[in-house]
Amino acid sequence: MTEENAENMRAVSGRISRKIVPHVRVGRERWTPRAKRYRADQDAIEEHVRGVFDRAEVGQCPAPYRVIVDAYFAPAKSTGKIPKTAGDIDNVAKAILDALQRAGCTPDDCHLESLVARKALAESDYVDWLVYWHEEVEP
């Protein structure tokens, strides 16, 4: 990245201080308990991301955009490792992407240029997310 590119970079980031309900296919099974939990969690995440974007005074980021999702999980008491119930990282990232799009913070994910998703151990469950893009500069 050149110095010029770094100057034109804009970002919005936030933290969800809990484990999120991973993305679930909602087709015919939209009223199952798991799908209802996912939809309720999506509503809460949407409120969160919209609030963060509003405080940053950003309506919707322009295309193309990039996203980084870091999910942290408290270790399982039995193994000391990331719990198997933590969910797949791609599903956690998809839950964040869905919330960003449904809240109107990002355009459709067909404009997503890069996604980095990682999970790691931590003392408690939380998810950090970052959306960034280059702003056009008037000549």
Report how far residue 27's alpha carbon sits from residue 36's, in angstroms, rounded to the nearest whole number.
Answer: 12
And the tokens for 28?
């015919």
pLDDT, tens digit, 9 for 90 and up, residues 63-100: 999 999 999 999 998 999 988 877 789 989 999 999 99
pLDDT mean for each 10 residues of the chain (139 residues): 64 94 65 78 94 96 96 92 85 92 95 96 96 81
And the tokens for 66?
């990039």
Return the pLDDT at 88. Answer: 86
Assess contact for 13 and 66: CB atoms under 8 A.
no
Return the pLDDT at 30. Answer: 63
What's the pTM value of the predicted model, to 2 decimals? 0.86
And the tokens for 132?
């960034």
Return the pLDDT at 38. Answer: 80
Radius of gyration of the chain (CA): 16
Return the pLDDT at 27. Answer: 61
Return the pLDDT at 36. Answer: 79
Return the pLDDT at 7. Answer: 73
The structural domains of the chain, ordered by start, are 3-134 (3.30.1330.70)
Return the pLDDT at 104. Answer: 96
